[in-house]
Amino acid sequence: MTDIVWPEIWQATWETLYMVGIATALTVILGLPLGVLLVLWSTPRLRPQAVLYQVLSVVVNIVRSVPFVILMIAVIPVTEWIVGTSIGVNAAIVPLVIGAAPFFARLAESAMREVDPGVMEAARAMGASTWVIIWRVLLPEARPGLIAAVTITAVTLVGYSAMSGVIGGGGLGDLAVRYGYERFQTDVMLVTTALMVVLVQIMQMIGDRLVQHYARR
Amino acid sequence: MGPAEGRRGVTIRLEHISKRYRLGQRETVALDDVSITVERGEILGLIGHSGAGKSTLLRCINLLERPSSGTVTVDGVRLDTLPERELQRQRRRMGMIFQHFHLLSSATVAENVAFPLRLAGVSRTDRERRVREVLHWVGLAGFEDKYPSQLSGGQKQRVAIARALAPGPDVLLCDEATSALDPQTTQTILDLLLAAQRELGVTLVVVTHDMSVVQRICDRVVVMHRGRVVETGTAADVLLDPRHELTRELVREAGWQMTGRHAPLMGRRTVLTFVGDNVYEPVLMRVAQAAGVTFSIVEGRIDRLKVQPFGRIVVDWQGTDEQWKRAAALLEALGVSVSEAVTTGSRG
Ligand SMILES: Nc1ncnc2c1ncn2[C@@H]1O[C@H](COP(=O)(O)OP(=O)(O)O)[C@@H](O)[C@H]1O
Ligand SMILES: [Mg+2]
C-alpha cells in the first residue's frame, strides 16, 4: 500500500458524494411528479387519463430498458446542451438523472399505490380538491415507501456514478478504473471499492432508520 | 359543542336516481330510479342485503358517486349540477364516516380532526380549540398526540366521528360505521350517533345491514333490493310489520319474526305486539282473568325501539272460542295488536 494516492482518493470520494447527492435530489424533483402523474392518471377516483397514462408509461419503460452505459453515451448531446461540456463531474450528473428519474418514478408510483384509497375518499368527502388530496393525503401517507424509494435510488446512483464517472471523469469509479485497471494498481481499486461499499451501507442505514421512524405510526 | 336549539336540520331529496356502471361490455345497474327524502333532524336507515345499492345511494348524497341520472338536492341546493369547486364547498356541510374509519395513518389524532377545519380555512388557534372541544365531546380528551395505529377500533371510529363533526355539519353520512366493531363498542358508537342527533341536531343517514342498528337508533327506514327501494316506513313499521317479502326475510334473519314454531302447540296460537308503556303492565294477566282463559308464552321479546318500549310475544291460549274472542277484544281495547300465528311449526 505504498503508492496509494490518498489526496486523490479523498477528492474522488467527495466527487462521488457530490454526484450522487445532486443526482438524487434532481431525480426526486423530476421523478416524483412523474410518479404522481402515473398514479393520478391510472386511478379511477383521482384523474383517470387512459391515453396519457399509456404514453407516459411507455416513455418511462423505454428509458428504463436502455442499459445505462448506452444511455450515458446517447444523452451526450443533451449533456452538452445543458452543462456546456460532456466531461467533468457536473456533466456526469445529467445521464444519472435521466437514467434514474423513470426508475424512481416507478418506485414512487408503487409506494403511492399502497395508500388506502379509502383515506383519499374520506378526504374527498370532506371537500378536498385533487391537489389537496395529493399534497395532504397521498404523499404523507406514502412517506415511508417514498423514503425507501429514495434510498434504493441513491444506492443505485452510486453504481451508475461509477460508470458515468469513467466517461465524464471523476469520482471513485473513475479512480478505480484509472489506477486499478489501466495501471494495475490493485490496491487503489480495492480501497475505492471498499469506500463505495461503506458509502452504500451508510446510505442504506440512514434510509432504513427514516423508514422505521415514519412507519412506526 | 353547541346545543341543538336554533339549529335546523336539512332535507335531503334524491329524485329518480339511477346509477349504471359499465365494465367492458357488461353493465351493472346499481341504482334504478330511486327517490328518497330525509327529514330534518331524523336518523334514516338504509338497509338491504349486500350489493343492494345502499352505499352507492349514500355516496350520491355528497356526490362522491355521480348519478347517471336524477337529481340531488340538499337544503334546497341542487348538488348534481354544481361545478366541482362549489361542490367541494357544499361537501363541507356533510360529514361522512366509514366501516374502516379511513383515518390518516401518518397524522396524529389532532391532525386528523383538524383536517376538515384546515380545508375550511379555520385559523390555527380556532382549529386547536375546536379539535380539543370535539375530541372531548366524543370522549377522547387527551388523545390529541396519539397516532391511529395506537387506538382500538372503537377509538378510531370516535376520531372519525370527531373529524366528521368538527366543522359543525348539518348532515352525517354513515356507511356501515359499526360493522367492523364488537357489540359493546357498537353500542358506544351508536350512543354517540344518537347524541349527534339530539345534542347537535344533526341529520343522519345510516347504511347498515344490522337490524339492531335500526332498532337502536333509526327513526325511519328505507329497504333496498337490487338497486330499488322496496319499502319505506318507520323503524317500528319495518321491524314489527314488514310488508315486502325481502323486508320479511331481513327481519326473519335478524330473529325479529317470531312464530313460536319451535314450541309445541298449547292452544290457539297468537302473536301479540305491544308498543308503548303498556309493555310493562300486567296486561296478559288481567285479560286472562277477565275472560276466564289461561295462556302459555312460547316465545317473546321485550325491548325498545330507540326509546319506545315494545314487546312481541307468541302466546298459546287455552279456553273456549267464546272466551278467546272476549280476550282478543280486551287486548285490542288495551292497544295490543293481535294476529294469528302461522302454525306451520312442530306440534305436540
Ligand atoms: N365502482 C363500481 N364499479 C362497478 N360496479 C359497482 C361499483 N360500485 C358498486 N358497484 C355495484 O353496484 C351494486 C351496488 O353496490 P353497493 O352500493 O356497494 O351495495 P351495498 O352497499 O348495498 O352492499 C353492486 O352490484 C356492486 O357490484
Ligand atoms: Mg355497502
* ipTM of the complex model: 0.85
Q: Could you report the per-residue pLDDT of B260-286, keeping only the tens digit for each?
A: 788 888 888 999 998 888 888 888 889
Domain membership flag for residue B284 = yes
Widest CA span of chain B, in angstroms? 78
Chain A CB within 8 Å of residue B165 CB: no
Chain B CB within 8 Å of residue A47 CB: no
Q: Ligand 1 atom 27: the closest Cα is on which residue?
A: B51
Specify the range with the lowest mean pLDDT, choosing from A45-49, B62-66, B198-202, B293-297. Answer: A45-49
What pLDDT score was predicted for residue A216? Answer: 66
CA distance A31 to A55: 16
H-type helices in A2-142, by residue range?
Answer: 6-40, 50-65, 68-74, 76-83, 89-113, 117-125, 130-133, 139-141
Specify the range with the lowest mean pLDDT, choosing from B92-96, B140-144, B194-198, B249-253. Answer: B249-253
Domain membership flag for residue B76 = yes
- How far from B79 is each of A56, A85, B13, B93, B344, CA to CA, in Å? 35, 58, 10, 12, 51
Residues B171 and B303 in one domain: no
Chain A CB within 8 Å of residue B88 CB: yes
Q: Could you report the per-residue pLDDT of A81-99, keeping only the tens digit for each?
A: 888 887 888 888 888 999 9
Count of residues making up chain A: 217
What pLDDT score was predicted for residue A123? Answer: 97
Instruction: List the CATH number of the domain containing B312.
Output: 3.30.70.260
Nearest CA in chain B to A144: B106
Query: What is the rounded average pLDDT of the residues B67-81?
Result: 94
Q: Ligand 1 atom 8: the closest Cα is on which residue?
A: B56
Residue A166 has pLDDT above 50, yes or no: yes
Q: Ligand 1 atom 14: the closest Cα is on which residue?
A: B53
Chain B CB within 8 Å of residue A127 CB: yes
Residues B35 and B91 in one domain: yes
Q: Could you report the per-residue pLDDT of B145-192, keeping only the tens digit for each?
A: 999 999 999 999 999 999 999 999 999 999 999 999 999 999 999 999
- pTM of the shown model: 0.88
What pLDDT score was predicted for residue A2? Answer: 53
Domains of chain A (ranges; CATH) run 5-216 (1.10.3720.10)
The bridge status of strand B171-175 relative to strand B203-207 is parallel
Instruction: List the CATH number of the domain containing B19.
Output: 3.40.50.300
Query: What is the rounded average pLDDT of the residues B20-36?
Result: 91
Which segments of B104-193 are extended strands (E)? 171-175
Residues B130 and B88 in one domain: yes
Give the one of B88, B105, B116 whose C-beta lies nearest to A141's C-beta: B105
Residues B129 and B232 in one domain: yes
The bridge status of strand B220-225 relative to strand B228-234 is antiparallel
Domain membership flag for residue B46 = yes
Residue B8 has pLDDT above 60, yes or no: no
Domain membership flag for residue B5 = no
Q: Determine contact, residues B71/B80, Cβ cutoff 8 Å.
A: yes
Chain B CB within 8 Å of residue A5 CB: no
Q: What percent of chain B has pLDDT over 90?
A: 69
Nearest ligand, CA B49: 1
CA distance B173 to B108: 23
Q: Which of B191, B219, B253 is the last residue of a domain?
A: B253
The C-alpha cell at B253 is 334473519
Q: Ligand 1 atom 21: the closest Cα is on which residue?
A: B55
CA distance B56 to B60: 6
Chain A CB within 8 Å of residue B62 CB: yes
- Number of Cβ within 10 Å of residue B186's Cβ equals 21
Q: How many domains does chain B have?
A: 2
Q: Could you report the per-residue pLDDT of B225-248, keeping only the tens digit for each?
A: 999 999 999 998 899 888 999 999
A143:B173 CB<8 A = no
HSE of B233, CA atoms in CB hemisphere, 13 A? 14
B105:A137 CB<8 A = no
B96:A126 CB<8 A = yes
Domain membership flag for residue B2 = no
Give the one of B92, B102, B103 whose C-beta lies nearest to A127's C-beta: B92
B85:A129 CB<8 A = yes
Domain membership flag for residue B208 = yes
Query: What is the rounded average pLDDT of the residues B113-121?
Result: 95
Domain membership flag for residue B346 = no
Confidence of residue B7 (pLDDT cuts 50, 70, 90): very low
CA B49–ligand 2 middle distance (angstroms): 9
CA B152–ligand 2 middle distance (angstroms): 23
Taking contacts as CB-CB distances below 8 angstroms, the residues of chain A near B91 are: 124-127
Interface A–B counts its CB contacts (< 8 A) at 66
Residue B3 has pLDDT above 50, yes or no: no
CA distance B55 to A43: 20
Mark residue B189 as left, alpha or beta (left: phi above 0; alpha: psi -120 to 50; beta: remaining): alpha
B104:A214 CB<8 A = no
Residues B222 and B104 in one domain: yes
CA distance B331 to B318: 15
What pLDDT score was predicted for residue A3? Answer: 67
Residues B103 and B32 in one domain: yes
Q: Which of B228, B253, B278 is the last residue of a domain?
A: B253
Chain A CB within 8 Å of residue B25 CB: no
Neighbours of ion ligand 2 (CB under 5 A): B 55
Q: What percent of chain A has pLDDT over 90?
A: 50
Domain membership flag for residue B118 = yes
A217:B147 CB<8 A = yes
Between A190 and A135, where is the model more confident? A135
- The residue behind cell 358506544 is B188
Confidence of residue B343 (pLDDT cuts 50, 70, 90): low
- The residue behind cell 461499499 is A197
Mean pLDDT of chain A: 88
Domain of residue B274 covers: 268-340
Confidence of residue A73 (pLDDT cuts 50, 70, 90): confident
CB-based contacts of A149: which residues, under 8 Å, 6+ apart?
A: A104, A107, A108, A111
Query: What is the rounded average pLDDT of the residues A1-25?
Result: 84
B102:A122 CB<8 A = yes
Helix (H, G, I), strand (E, B) or coil at B318: strand
Residues B171 and B287 in one domain: no
What pLDDT score was predicted for residue B6? Answer: 43
Residues B237 and B272 in one domain: no
Residue B143 has pLDDT above 90, yes or no: yes
> Which three-class secondary structure string do you get for B56-71?
HHHHHHCCCCCCCEEE
Chain A CB within 8 Å of residue B92 CB: yes
Residues B279 and B172 in one domain: no
Residues B136 and B280 in one domain: no
Output the ligand 1 site: residues, CB below 6 A. B 21, 23, 28, 30, 48, 50-56
Q: Could you report the per-residue pLDDT of A15-37, keeping only the tens digit for each?
A: 889 989 999 999 999 999 999 99
Q: Which of B218, B253, B288 is the last residue of a domain?
A: B253
Confidence of residue B9 (pLDDT cuts 50, 70, 90): very low
A217:B100 CB<8 A = no
Confidence of residue A43 (pLDDT cuts 50, 70, 90): confident
- How far from A96 is each of A32, A33, A81, A92, A153, CA to CA, in Å? 16, 18, 16, 7, 10
Q: Determine contact, residues B199/B4, Cβ cutoff 8 Å.
A: yes
Residues B281 and B243 in one domain: no
Residue B345 has pLDDT above 50, yes or no: no
Residues B159 and B223 in one domain: yes
Q: For the packed helices B283-291 and B321-333, what is the interaxial angle rounded to 10 degrees?
A: 140
